[in-house]
Amino acid sequence: MTMFSLKNKKALITGGGSGIGKAISIVFARQGAQVFIFDIDEMGGEETVKEIEKEGGNAIFKKCNIVNEEEVKKAIDSIAQPENKLDIIINNAGIAHIGNVENTNSDDFDRLFTVNVKGMFNVIKASISYLKVNGGVILNMASVAASVGLSDRFAYSTTKSAVIGMTLSVAKDYLSYNIRSNCVSPGRVHTPFVDGFLKKNYPGEEQEMFEKLSKSQPLGRMARPEEIAGLVLYLCSDEAAFITGNDYFIDGGFTRLNS
């Protein structure tokens, strides 16, 4: 028996067109899952599908904006057929914001909550009836920002704290349906988002700032998306059947070892 097998599992991954979501999509497909990628980035989503199919995996891309409740429900209803079920939901899609409480305006605050919290709510609400059929897994992407004070991450940290609360609530409410709900809190991960952020905010100093951010984690580097995907795979596999209602740090020691 192959450990961490996802054979015959239907897995929905939001934000699967790039970064961590793309890595999760590829790893899940390698483990035998039928992968459904939801993203607003059509080019990125289709590219992930091509990479999966090139390896012989099974993936379908659906352009879907998670903030649109009706659009989410329609997309999830379509992928749950014909078995009328889903097995794994990965709530990975989200956005970031730089600023403290004084320079974060109400529009920014609302935008962060709409995507990072309401978007996850929309996906879980539309999926839960299908997960109840045979049980399943919900994995939400949180952040160390929810548990550690980070400078200029006011709105982002607040939304990720809400994600942890949502994860625990769902875990408690759906124990009897054999639905497990956990979240993962990464530290800094080297994704295209990081490269874009450095280029926009530190032109000409990208490499210097990259090194500085990397060394802020005790292991001295950023995580690779594939490393986050490995933890997510474990938590969504049958080998983790006794795990629910937890938040897992994967941060190179940042949360506990920084002084």
Residue numbers annotated as active site: 156
Question: Among 83, 31, 85, 40, which residue's Cα sits nearest to residue 59?
Answer: 31
Specify burial of residue 29 (Cβ count, 10 A radius: 0-12, 13-18, 19+): buried
Q: How far, in Å, are 5, 17, 129, 194 from residue 241 at the CA level? A: 13, 28, 20, 33
Q: ω before 82 within 30° of 0 (cis)?
A: yes
Q: How far apart are CA 218 and CA 174, in angstroms?
A: 37
Beta bridge partners of 35: 11, 59
Beta bridge partners of 88: 11, 137
Angle between helices 42-54 and 19-30 (to 10 degrees): 30
**Do residues 197 and 156 touch, judged by C-beta distance below 8 A?**
no
Joined together, the tokens standing for residue 231 give: 């933890």
Token pair 């941060």 is found at 251
Which SS3 state, helix, strand or coil, does residue 219 take? Answer: coil
Angle at 187 (CA atoms; ends 104, 64), nearest 5 degrees: 65
